[in-house]
Amino acid sequence: MIRYRKIGYIALNVTDLARSRRFYQDIVGLQPNGEGPDGSALFRLDAAHHSIMLYPAAQAGVKRFAFQLENDAQFDVLARALDTHGIALREVDRAECDALGQGRSVRFTDPYSGATWECYASMREEATPFVPSVVPFDRLGHIVLRTDRFDEAIDFYCGTLNFRLSDKVVGQIAFMRCFPNKYHHMLAVAKSARPGLHHVNLMVPSIDDWGRCVARLARQNIDVVWGPGRHTNAGTFFVYYLDPDGLTLEYGFSMEEFPEVGAREARVRPPGHESVDLWDSRIDPRTCAAGEIETLASS
């Protein structure tokens, strides 16, 4: 079984790199940390070299995302698991790994969304601490994808990649944790007629930090499209807002934690708003609607 540490980073495509650099630094509160070898902008939110990357592109969305494996031995476990589906791993060039502060890294294409996954076991930590300019962060929280192959995607992530289902809203959304990571989910999939990016979550360390985020977004006239609310499944306090390309970001606080052994069974809820939001917050139709997935063919 594949064992993970956490979600590692998320690489986003943006249509105006200079504009998005300003937004992710000044509004979201991330700290710039140089550029990738291809001109991408790297941002950190803790000691890790990067958690968010921005790439210039014609269409906004997700370029790829990465999960950190527990150790180097997991590369062979991952390769064997993917081989059962005829999915090959692609080694990331050593020079690119060095530029990204990563050890050995591999990529593969997700057959149920077209997304590019990356897995690595080590990333450089910076000697200087992250200094919050807008808000402190607890961690990079999760990524959610839209898929038109909802049940097949869940089977693949859980059956092949060893994610564990925490909660599911029938025909709507499924929340999965990267085993044995304790947090309720670091990956989720939402059923949609059109595959794409749903949203990216950033977790903050206290309810007061989260409350200040809510108040600050309103003061700065940022498009808040859902919330403040509280998710029924993980118990997370949330507020969703849009970046300059209309991609949906989320500030969250608090999340259910699972033990490695003896975890509860996944809960299955009926479809409906009450199954995802305890506070019945208004949802703007732009919420989680924008964002293409860059497929290997289009990269």
pLDDT in tens, 165-180: 999 999 999 999 999 9
Residue with tokens 């991609």: 247
Clarify whether residues 67 and 34 are in a common domain: yes
Residue type, 26: D
pTM above 0.75, yes or no: yes
Here the CATH number for the domain that contains residue 79 is: 3.10.180.10
What is each CA distance from 261 to 39, 169, 205, 258, in whole angstroms? 43, 24, 26, 8
Cα angle 94, 98, 99; round to 5: 120
What is each CA distance from 85 to 88, 204, 242, in whole angstroms? 9, 37, 36
- Whole-number Å distance between alpha carbons of 26 and 30: 8
Clarify whether residues 44 and 162 are in a common domain: no
Clarify whether residues 181 and 104 are in a common domain: no
Confidence band (pLDDT; 50, 70, 90) for 36? confident
Cα angle 283, 286, 292; round to 5: 135
* pLDDT score, position 297: 55
Q: Range of 41's domain?
A: 4-123
DSSP for residue 25: I
Q: What are phi and psi of 163, to 5 degrees?
A: -80, 155
Clarify whether residues 159 and 217 are in a common domain: yes
For 50-106, the pLDDT digits (tens) are: 999 999 999 999 999 999 999 999 999 999 999 999 999 999 999 999 999 999 999
- Tell me if 253 sits within 8 A of 236, measured CB to CB: yes
Residue with tokens 């990465």: 66
For 121-176, the pLDDT digits (tens) are: 999 999 999 999 999 999 999 999 999 999 999 999 999 999 999 999 999 999 99
Clarify whether residues 153 and 276 are in a common domain: yes
- Whole-number Å distance between alpha carbons of 145 and 252: 17
Clarify whether residues 144 and 265 are in a common domain: yes
Clarify whether residues 167 and 239 are in a common domain: yes
Clarify whether residues 180 and 70 are in a common domain: no
Clarify whether residues 46 and 150 are in a common domain: no
Confidence band (pLDDT; 50, 70, 90) for 298? very low
- Tell me if 114 sits within 8 A of 38, measured CB to CB: no
- Whole-number Å distance between alpha carbons of 134 and 264: 37
**Residue 130 forms part of a structural domain:** no
Clarify whether residues 190 and 277 are in a common domain: yes
Domain count, the chain: 2
Collapsed DSSP state (helix, strand, coil) of residue 180: coil
Partners of 106 in the β-ladder: 91, 119
For 214-270, the pLDDT digits (tens) are: 999 999 999 999 999 999 999 999 999 999 999 999 999 999 999 999 999 999 999
Clarify whether residues 270 and 180 are in a common domain: yes
Clarify whether residues 95 and 158 are in a common domain: no
Domain boundary among 62, 91, 123: 123
Q: In what order do the strands lie in the sheet with 248-253?
A: 224-230, 237-242, 248-253, 196-203, 139-147, 187-191, 173-178, 163-169, 267-269
- Tell me if 278 sits within 8 A of 254, measured CB to CB: no
